[in-house]
Chains A and B, each alone.
Chain A
Amino acid sequence: MHIGQYIPGNSVIHRLDPRVKIGAAIVLSILALQGGSFTETFLSAFLIALIPCSGLSVYQMGRAFRSVLVFFALLFFVHLLFTQGKPIPPFPPWRVTVTYEGLYRGAVTTWQFALLIWTASILTMTTLPTDLVNGIERLLRPLRRIGVPSYDIAIMISIALRFVPTFLEEIDRIKTAHMARGAAFGSGSLVRRTLAGVSILLPLVLRTMHRADDLVVAMEARAYQRGPRTYLKELSMTWADYAAVIVITAIICLHMLCP
């Protein structure tokens, strides 16, 4: 299971307009990083409250964190050991030691990143990739006036996402072909294994270029041109979306008013 993979559902959060969700995720992420004890506490409570609203189980949310646990541990320990301050007995008063301040900073920073991952996960777990891209395109569309090609960016993201599983299959196929000819992937010295890994790179790149060539022709054959196009799903805001915008705005105000 990939980090934050979409989980089908029909919750309130699932049904929100992707633009609102993306905007909310950005806002909440910025607030999480800005800090302030009240904000952090409030955000934590808010995000916890979102779990049932999105129809996700605590277990599913926990799985989203599995891949980043190592990073969190590293982050925590770096802060724990390298922050100046009052050492916690029985640790010695050296420059690199365990301090109270370190404990506090470690905990706070790690928690901030946890909130970030949490926010992003709720976004990706309740929004179909198709809708995410659609949302990004609509949000970028007004920036076309200053030269941001929203339609083109959306197509690029869309195609990239579509081909990720295909690339994984391709890598597997090339690896198998090489193994059949005696390449060492699981055994042998580190150097040998690294070289074996690198040997996949060239065929992969070549095949990808070939694919891109074919794809371009196929897209042109279906009358693709850069610029404006229409979609199967046209996004529209409902009362629930407006309510969500109000909630997020309220959170921003709360943050600005409280220390």
Chain B
Amino acid sequence: MIKVTDVIFQYDKGGEQILNGISTEIKDGTYVGVIGPNGCGKTTFVRHLNGLLAPTAGEVWVEGMRTADPVAVRKIRGQVGMVFQNPDNQIVGMTVEEDVAFGPGNLGLSSPEIGRRVQEALSMVGMERQSKRSPQMLSNGEKQLVAIAGVLAMKPRHIILDEPTTYLDPSAREKVLQVVNSLHKDGITIVHVTHDMDEIAQADRIIVLYEGRIAMEGSPSQVFGRVEWLKGLGVGIPKIAEILWGLRKTGLHVRTDVFSVKEACEEISSLIRSQQKPH
């Protein structure tokens, strides 16, 4: 479990406070979406979860270890993996397998163990046949999959993804989201920062950040139900909910806490059928 208590963060003494008192808990195995307008502190917040940043005040505990503890940090980073936005600037190795081996190598594992983990991780993302390729031969989508594999090879319990699909074309985005969802099904905690609400419509929980504070936390239904408020913050809602909300505004009685295409079709078709009832 990851526990964040009263975290305040500023880069320099007397500098701007990026985080203004954040407290939350991220339970094992949950899928948490983190949203908020640009500059609200999303990236700063998630970088506290694996000890990349240490709070100016307050504490972050991961699996019973404090992130501010320099001795525990290595172990924490083995437990909490992170995938970044730019596919190129995460790949360190001269070949795919060498890059995936970077993480386990940092943990000091034996060569045979590293070999096993690299194979396993590449299979989990479907890149096992590309192990000898060099980074410049990969598409952005493939690079992101390699980045995810590189994190998986460390066998983390939690994975943070900071806007991982920004540089990806639609089919690559689809593939990456598929992989993330299957990791969630395997029990890995997912913390997903994004600007695209459709990506996290099926999350277990959504955290809305605004000006360095948690403006709201709840289920997708609860959060995306507050449409006007979200739009006021400069944050969108999933397109499906947007359509239903638009219909609602014209006076039609539809639920707006619907986030999957299937449910939306059912909702809209039952609405149309009720309109078609003979008088």
Flag if A211 contacts B88 (CB, 8 Å): yes
Q: Mark A216-243, 1 if CB is under 8 A from B, else 0.
A: 0111111111001111111000000000
Q: Mark B68-110, 1 if CB is under 8 A from A, else 0.
A: 0000011001100110101011111111011001111111111
Flag if A232 contacts B118 (CB, 8 Å): yes
Q: Which of B36-88 contact A (CB under 8 A)?
A: 47, 50, 52, 73-74, 77-78, 81-82, 84, 86, 88
Flag if B107 contacts A223 (CB, 8 Å): yes
Q: Which residues does chain A contribute within 8 Å of B81, judged by CB atoms?
A: 221-222
Q: Mark B189-222, 1 if CB is under 8 A from A, else 0.
A: 0000000000000000000000000000000000
Flag if B94 contacts A218 (CB, 8 Å): no
A211–B85 Cα gap in the complex (Å)?
12
Q: Which residues does chain B contribute within 8 Å of A166, judged by CB atoms?
A: 88, 135-136
- Do A214 and B86 form a contact, CB below 8 Å, given A220-B77, A231-B114, A232-B97? yes
- Do A232 and B84 form a contact, CB below 8 Å, given A214-B89, A221-B50? no
Flag if A231 contacts B105 (CB, 8 Å): yes
Q: Is A215 an interface residue (CB 8 A)?
A: yes
Q: Nearest residue in B to A161 (C-beta to C-beta)? A: B94
Flag if A223 contacts B106 (CB, 8 Å): yes
- Do A130 and B52 form a contact, CB below 8 Å, given A225-B106, A230-B110? no
CB distance from B48 to the nearest CB of A (A): 12
Name the contact of B77 in the complex, choosing from A129, A165, A221, A231 (C-beta under 8 A). Answer: A221
Flag if B93 contacts A162 (CB, 8 Å): yes
- Do A230 and B89 form a contact, CB below 8 Å, given A223-B78, A223-B103? no
Flag if A230 contacts B108 (CB, 8 Å): yes
Flag if A229 contacts B105 (CB, 8 Å): yes
Q: Is B115 an interface residue (CB 8 A)?
A: yes
Flag if A232 contacts B101 (CB, 8 Å): yes
Flag if A218 contacts B84 (CB, 8 Å): yes
CB distance from A84 to the nearest CB of B (A): 50
A105–B98 Cα gap in the complex (Å)?
47
Q: Which residues does chain A contribute within 8 Å of B98, judged by CB atoms?
A: 130, 232
Flag if A218 contacts B114 (CB, 8 Å): no
Flag if B74 contacts A223 (CB, 8 Å): yes
A130–B100 Cα gap in the complex (Å)?
14
Flag if B105 contacts A158 (CB, 8 Å): no
Name the contact of A222 in the complex, choosing from B114, B134, B150 (C-beta under 8 A). Answer: B150
Flag if B93 contacts A222 (CB, 8 Å): no
A211–B52 Cα gap in the complex (Å)?
17
CB distance from A217 to the nearest CB of B (A): 6
Q: Which residues does chain A contribute within 8 Å of B89, judged by CB atoms?
A: 211, 214-215, 218
Q: Is B168 an interface residue (CB 8 A)?
A: no
Flag if A130 contacts B114 (CB, 8 Å): no
Q: Is B122 an interface residue (CB 8 A)?
A: no
Flag if B88 contacts A218 (CB, 8 Å): no
CB distance from A138 to the nearest CB of B (A): 13
Q: Is A49 an interface residue (CB 8 A)?
A: no
Q: Is B151 an interface residue (CB 8 A)?
A: yes
CB distance from B93 to the nearest CB of A (A): 7
Q: Is B154 an interface residue (CB 8 A)?
A: yes
Q: Is A159 an interface residue (CB 8 A)?
A: yes
A159–B94 Cα gap in the complex (Å)?
8
Q: Is B111 an interface residue (CB 8 A)?
A: yes
Q: Mark A179-215, 1 if CB is under 8 A from B, else 0.
A: 0000000000000000000000000000000010011
A159–B101 Cα gap in the complex (Å)?
14
Q: Which of A152-170 contact B (CB under 8 A)?
A: 158-159, 161-162, 165-166, 169
CB distance from B249 to the nearest CB of A (A): 42
CB distance from A83 to the nearest CB of B (A): 45
Most buried by B among A161, A230, A231, A232: A232
Flag if A162 contacts B92 (CB, 8 Å): yes
A-B complex: 5 closest residue pairs judged by Cβ atoms: A214-B89, A232-B101, A223-B77, A165-B136, A222-B103
Assuming A162-B93, A221-B82, what are 6 further A-B pairs, CB within 8 angstroms?
A: A158-B92, A211-B89, A220-B52, A223-B106, A223-B154, A232-B114
Name B residues whose Cβ lies closer than 8 Å to a Cβ of A: 47, 50, 52, 73-74, 77-78, 81-82, 84, 86, 88-95, 97-98, 101-111, 114-115, 118, 134-136, 150-151, 154
What are 23 A-to-B residue pairs whose CB atoms are below 8 Å?
A133-B94, A158-B92, A159-B92, A162-B91, A165-B135, A165-B136, A169-B136, A214-B89, A217-B52, A218-B84, A218-B90, A221-B82, A222-B103, A222-B151, A223-B73, A223-B77, A223-B106, A229-B108, A230-B104, A230-B105, A230-B109, A232-B97, A232-B115
